[in-house]
Amino acid sequence: VTRPLRTQVAIIGAGPAGLVLSHLLAARGIDCVVLEDRSREYVEHRVRAGVLEHPTVELLRAHGLADRLDREALVHRGVQIALDGRRHRIDFEDLTGRNITVYGQQEVVKDLIAARLSAGEPIVFDVSDVRVEGFAGDEPFVRYRNGEGSVTLRCDVIAGCDGFHGVSRPSLPPGALHIHDREYPFAWLGILARAAPTTDELIYSNSERGFALYSMRSPEITRLYLQVDPDEDINDWSDDRIWGELTRRLPTSEGFTLLDGPILEKAVTPMRSFVATPMRCGRLALAGDAAHIVPPTGAKGMNLAIADVTVLAAAIDALERTGDESLLADYSDTCLQRVWRVQHFSWWMTSMLHRFNDHDDFQHQLQRSELRWVLHSRAASTALAENYVGLPFGRIYPEEAR
């Protein structure tokens, strides 16, 4: 057993939320320790999201964290949506003056880890038995084990950035949280393939056989997804079956070629909408997937995680600098404005693009009508574009009284 350590902020989890928070705090001269239960190797190679919103890129740039991103990432000025094999383009630049950036989440994570370690700031990987305690009062602490034994880390605030399966959310007292959630009758089978992308934009395809998404990571790597049953066994999907199904669902007859290649990675991801409220209990604040999950159709999860921690960093700054707890008290309400907007957008994109119950013809006709309206009306396309490129961080309805 080692003697208790002390820091200003204990951050649980080295995903996008925890790592970005560590940089935002460092920029304000606030000390923190990031605790991660996986290895550095593991978190740097976990394949996940790929789309960065405009405000996310601006934030990374403003903190000097976008050098490699600016060299290597792909800027997309719009997105394509296919219906019945016909492609339509939503032009983000024209509709909003903004764009999105395609850059793998694990690349963001690598850059954030490298920048923090090279500044000599701590990230403790491979910890175990993490426990968050004392947060109902103003002397919270975290207990964990590392190679040397059991450690107690005292702090002013604990940031629960440990994802959906972390320890922070389950550590709240029973009854402290209200859970709002929804499950969908499908999942996504995602692959990463060594094959050159043949368009410079993503294609979201609503087809009679189910949803498919054409995305990419680099000029050599494509990222593709298929709607499948939630209990689908990945072993039933040979590479040939995957490519065959992608060919049928993507708009391949209309001047778009799907190049295949070796599949480097495949996995089935369940789809879920989930919000735990409030996002704070005393000195424990939840951020990112620890507090909420969105279905991936809107490409929002990583961006929303980063939006949360910008609010949290400002709240912790006020507390540390002047003892003012009011921003921390408002943290949950401030975040939830944007969280619910993004929840709605992600649910809306999911509902417009997937194949639902075959027997509900009325619902099916409504879905097609809505999607056609979005593709043909400038007002409706603008609504999609504005949400997709990313709403401002912080309070999105600042005029509403607190």
**Binding site residues, ligand PHB, CB under 6 A:** 49-51, 202, 213, 215, 223, 296-297, 299
Q: Does 172 bind ligand RFL (CB under 6 A)?
A: no
Among 11, 25, 33, 35, binds ligand RFL (CB under 6 A): 35
Tokens of 21: 């928070």
CA 123 to chain CA centroid, Å, is 21
Q: Does 14 bind ligand RFL (CB under 6 A)?
A: yes
Q: Is 225 a catalytic residue?
A: no
Name the binder of 303 from ligand PHB, ligand RFL, none, CB < 5-8 A by kind: ligand RFL
Length, in residues, of the chain = 402
Q: Does 111 bind ligand RFL (CB under 6 A)?
A: no
210/296 with CB nearer ligand PHB? 296
Q: Does 123 bind ligand RFL (CB under 6 A)?
A: no
Asked if 213 and 228 touch (Cβ cutoff 8 Å), the reply is no
Name the binder of 385 from ligand RFL, ligand PHB, none, CB < 5-8 A by kind: none
Tokens of 147: 């190679």
User: What's the 3-state SS for 19-75?
Assistant: HHHHHHHHHCCCCEEEECCCCHHHHHHCCCCCEECHHHHHHHHHCCCCHHHHHHCEE
* CA gap 68, 341 in Å, rounded: 31
Number of residues located near ligand RFL, criterion CB under 6 A: 35
Asked if 215 and 223 touch (Cβ cutoff 8 Å), the reply is yes
Q: Is 300 a catalytic residue?
A: yes
Residue 88 CB, nearest distance to ligand RFL (Å)? Answer: 20
Strand partners, 159: 11, 285
Strand partners, 274: 181, 293
Asked if 153 and 4 touch (Cβ cutoff 8 Å), the reply is yes
Name the binder of 81 from ligand PHB, ligand RFL, none, CB < 5-8 A by kind: none
Q: Is 251 a catalytic residue?
A: no
Residue 183 CB, nearest distance to ligand PHB (Å)? Answer: 18
* CA gap 182, 152 in Å, rounded: 37
* CA gap 402, 379 in Å, rounded: 30
Name the binder of 166 from ligand PHB, ligand RFL, none, CB < 5-8 A by kind: ligand RFL
Q: Which of residues 277-296 bind ligand RFL (CB under 6 A)?
A: 288-289, 296
Q: Is 103 a catalytic residue?
A: no
Active site residues: 76, 204, 296, 300, 388
| Interface contacts to ligand RFL, rule CB under 6 A | 12-18, 35-38, 43, 48-51, 105, 127, 130, 161-163, 166-167, 190, 269, 288-289, 296, 299-303, 305
